[in-house]
Chain A
């Protein structure tokens, strides 16, 4: 079974530029999460989708971050414009249903904002 796929793996941009990350969850997984992991810290939830609907985006900085999962499968996370403090690893995770007791993580995208 293929795991969670993410691309790109690495991205370097300058502040005020835009960037987008892509995630393809495990086939059949209805729930998808985006986490931000700043160096030296644990992952922090940004947004949670159930199929193509947003369940929780309370921690998403909506003035610059946006995310979508239009067809309930793959998802895109965008930052526009980026700030220096957005430098982090962005992790995508999925699980079969919302109440499932385990998440499956992708390899992450490491973003460096100069």
Chain B
């Protein structure tokens, strides 16, 4: 069985400050890891994904995440956030033979203040 825990339900931050959104997972098999962003009244958009290889993954909009197998974590980071980054962020774990059958965390609301 797979599970995902997003450690912070809400993260307020000032514009141009760095941010880290934390995600821990558990799985008994090899996994794919994803971060999605959801803007109000929209569907989910893929930010980045880890499949294999380099543990540092770069995504869209300046986001990156680091896969840490020993700590079973996949934290999302951005060195300088913008107002437009205000959204809901979801971490997900997908089985390596059926990534679409993903288990999602409950989300972290990132609020960027001016």
User: Which residues of A does B touch, CB under 8 Å?
Assistant: 4, 9, 31, 33, 40-45, 48, 56, 91, 93, 95, 98-103, 105-108, 110
Contact = CB atoms under 8 A, between A and B. Distances in A.
A108 B42 CA distance: 7
Interface string B96-114: 0111111011110000000
10 contacts: A9-B41, A42-B92, A42-B104, A42-B107, A91-B43, A93-B44, A98-B98, A99-B98, A101-B32, A107-B43
B69 to A, nearest CB: 18
A105 B99 contact: no
Given A43-B104, A56-B101, A102 B49 contact: yes
B100 A93 contact: yes
Given A42-B90, A102-B49, A4 B100 contact: no
Most buried by A among B44, B92, B94: B44
Given A42-B105, A102-B46, 12 more contacts: A9-B41, A42-B92, A42-B107, A43-B44, A44-B104, A45-B101, A48-B100, A93-B44, A99-B97, A100-B99, A101-B94, A103-B46
